[in-house]
Amino acid sequence: MRIFVTGASGFIGSAVVLELIGAGHQVVGLARSAAALTAAGVEVVRGTLDDLEVLRDTAAASDGVIHLAFNGERAFTGDYQGAADADRRVVDTFGDALAGTDRPLVLATGFIGFPTGRAVTEQDAPTIDGSPYVIRSATAQAALAFASRGVRSSVVRVSPTVHGEGDYGWVPHLVATARAKNVSAYIGDGANRWPAVHRLDIARLFRLAVEKAPAGSALHGVAEEGVALRDIAEVIGRHLDVPVTSVAPEAAEEHFTWLSPFMSLDVPVSNALTRELLDWQPTHPSLLEDLAKGHYFHTPATT
């Protein structure tokens, strides 16, 4: 298959590209800079997520699309609404380009808007309440509805913790915070859980989805249903040789900054239906095993 991938040079996308190429697929990647993708054997299409005509034409000329990109820089510098609205335009463009073809469109999304405190299943749908942070979940629901227009659409709900070499997300922020404050912390009793998945395991899931996920499938890119925040803090504390302690909820924002709203969430997620549907079996290290390897704790270079 000739597969168009947005976000092909990212942390997850670069693993997806290698997974696809290793399975014999041809990959077309959207990029502003071609060097890294070309070296990996990717055909590069120059452009951004704002170039809707380029996206439409490339999707129409492909056997399938995997949409991983999102303008995170715009989103997390004060304009999440604008970034989410732009993403909806991209997804609608892909839907129009693939309508009536039965070709696959696989969309990366997350777990905002889902119930907390119990394991979310693939059959759960998000609550769309008008919050800007729920817009991406609404976009994912719209993508699933493309199945009625002759698109083999599916969504991969990506774990908030995707770990592995090169991770620059939540866990590195926790490590940096513990190093800066000389304490590794969690909120309350730390029993609340984050789901997790290794980037190489989720890369395989994206390949399986584009190859054979039925139209309208919601898939869970989660290898571990939930890892307790206290367990994560303890491994970080051990590696940095700093105390491990609880932070009161009212002090969380000061301690964890932008991550504080997520630090007290209990968001276990089931992957049973995804495993059964696609015969997906995560095989790479768990989050705590990955932390134990030590690569998260390399001392940052100084200039």
Tens of pLDDT, residue by residue, the chain (303 residues) = 999 999 998 899 999 999 999 999 999 999 866 777 887 788 999 888 999 999 999 999 999 999 999 887 776 677 888 888 899 999 999 999 999 999 999 999 988 888 887 899 999 988 888 776 788 889 999 999 999 999 999 999 999 899 999 998 889 999 999 999 999 999 999 999 999 999 999 999 999 999 999 999 999 999 999 999 999 999 999 999 999 999 999 999 999 988 888 888 888 999 999 999 999 999 999 999 999 999 999 865 444
Report the C-alpha gap between 281 and 180 in whole angstroms.
37
Report the C-alpha gap between 59 and 270 in whole angstroms.
32
Report the C-alpha gap between 114 and 270 in whole angstroms.
12
Query: Do 14 and 75 touch, CB atoms closer than 8 A?
Result: no
Of 206, 86, 194, give the one whose Cα is nearest residue 135: 86
Report the C-alpha gap between 217 and 13 in whole angstroms.
20
Strands 217-221 and 184-187: unpaired
The one-letter amino acid code at 92 reads D
Query: Do 223 and 197 touch, CB atoms closer than 8 A?
Result: yes
